[in-house]
Amino acid sequence: MNKPRLNRKGTRFFGLFVSSRHTFIRSSDNQNQYKRARFWRISKAQKIVIAAMIIAILMVSAFGFLMDTNRREPNAEPISYEPTASPSPSPSPSPFPTAEQTARPTSSAIPRPSPSIVAQISQGWQQMITPAKKGLLEGAETMNSTVWKEVAKIAWNYFTPGKGVDSNTGLPASSLGWNYFTDWDLGVYIQAIVDAQKIGLITKDGEWGSSARLEKVVTFLETRSLNATTGVPFWFYKSSGEGYLTTSDTDGVDAGTLFVALSNLKEFNASLTNRIDNFVYNAFNNRTNYAVLLPGIKSESLYSTNLYAYYLASGFARFFPEVADAPGKILSNIRDAGFIKDPYNSTLPKASICCEPLLYAMFNLESNAYLAKIMNMTYSAHEVKYLATGEYVAFSEGSSYSTFIYEWVVLSNGDTWKIMNAGESSYSNSKPIIYQKVALSFLALYNTTFAKDMCIYIEKFSPEPLKGYISGAEFGSNDYAAKVVEIIDSNTNGLIISAARYALKS
């Protein structure tokens, strides 16, 4: 079950391909090895019979597994779990902590290992286990518009009513089986609706067309319950629309993400402009006074080198002229901070860079040359790391096997390729997750062999995406060692839809 995640940076911020490395143990007793080999020698006919028996057993087992996993009605409402008390949100000292409180503490592709006898033997197992039908990306000779539209369609499956969207309220769920959402999740959903119509996945009209969906969301924002003490939106809401009482309110990064989406919505549907402005600016004095955040945003922009702060400031700048120069200042800070080299000799800005806000900024904000340069360096570092290690990486934030994590490509203290668990200030030794949203975003931006191969790698381990894309996978030491994070969530599928829209437009 997904647990309530802490904010970006861990505090509240209004706030059998068996490789050659899997070898037989060598023994100094060669004579005994020879005797064992002769004892197990069998004829070709016997091998064929044994192989046929194994295949039959595997097929029966697989069929039984599929029958069991498909018993649930595909369009059933997602199971709802109450958020657990652990980890619990930390109380904020004020309704709107400063933006920098989200900052983490400063504290041609390489080939697979050369085939060995073991690897060659394993090819038979691969043929038995891997489906004969190739996945969408593996079967695509080129990433053309048809393929990208199908990618978007798969991701949009998540936002089907009764899956990732409540069929009564039209409000999103953060992930399947966890029917709560933050302002960040709501912003992702708004952008996904806009992108879905642009791509042609939905029309404007109809019960679940873009207009009906957006009307439900805007009405919610006009009327949602606020924390009676602080006048601030709750950290997260139930998909039924109820505020979930916690000791923390929404954070700034989440609000900024919502503002980016609302700004894009105003351009997409101008008829909603007045209604959006009314609750953003608290026109009737019954909504949130977001203006109290502006001094903190201006102050932070003077020194921050954090891309979460950049995305936050970009959202607010679209509504409040007082902080219109804040995003540019943060990019200037990143430029002035200089560069560092990671262990693989890639050049990276000496800044706090996680792919999540960077990719959202690339897809959902106006183009910016220096931001594009940061994106290029970040992507290149991923590919170079793969060339050096043979392990795919696609760093971001998201669910892992047990908690919510942040994967940092680089931090402002110069550390690179670090992972932190939500709510913790020390680095984690866990293996990174290859986030599918990042891999597909890289493919949309650069269309490289590395990006496509990484996407295919995840695709091979993924279940059929009837409800959207899963979060990702851990890189295994061989093709059958990878573990997948089978959580299907709004952030994964929302970002993939934005990436697909970007690729189609490009």
Q: What's the pLDDT tens digit per position in 113-170? A: 222 322 332 233 233 334 445 899 999 999 999 999 999 999 999 999 999 999 999 9
Structural domain spans, the chain = 31-65, 133-505
* Neighbour count for residue 377 (Cβ, 10 Å): 17
pLDDT at 191: 98
Q: Helices (H), strands (E): how many in the chain?
A: 16, 10
- The model's pLDDT over 346-396, given as tens digits with 9 standing for 90+, comes to 999 999 999 999 999 999 999 999 999 999 999 999 999 999 999 999 999
Query: pTM score > 0.85 for this model?
Result: no
pLDDT at 68 over 70: no
C-beta of residue 48 within 8 angstroms of C-beta of residue 445: no
Cα separation of 487 and 178, whole Å?
10
Average pLDDT of every residue of the chain: 80
3-class DSSP state of 165: strand
pLDDT at 303 over 70: yes
User: Confidence class of residue 291 from pLDDT cuts 50, 70 and 90?
Assistant: very high
- Least confident span in 22-36, 186-200, 247-261: 22-36
Placement of tokens 């690339």 in the chain:
362
Burial label, 32 (beta-carbon count in 10 A; 0-12, 13-18, 19+): exposed
pLDDT at 134: 83
Instruction: Enter the tokens of residue 149.
Output: 């539209």
- The model's pLDDT over 325-336, given as tens digits with 9 standing for 90+, comes to 999 999 999 999
Cα separation of 108 and 448, whole Å?
10
Cα separation of 288 and 311, whole Å?
20
Which CATH number applies to 133-505? 1.50.10.140
Residue type, 279: F
User: Confidence class of residue 104 from pLDDT cuts 50, 70 and 90?
Assistant: very low
User: Confidence class of residue 248 from pLDDT cuts 50, 70 and 90?
Assistant: confident
Cα separation of 403 and 4, whole Å?
9
Cα separation of 493 and 506, whole Å?
20
Q: How large a percentage of the chain has pLDDT more than 90? A: 68
pLDDT at 77 over 50: no
pLDDT at 57: 44
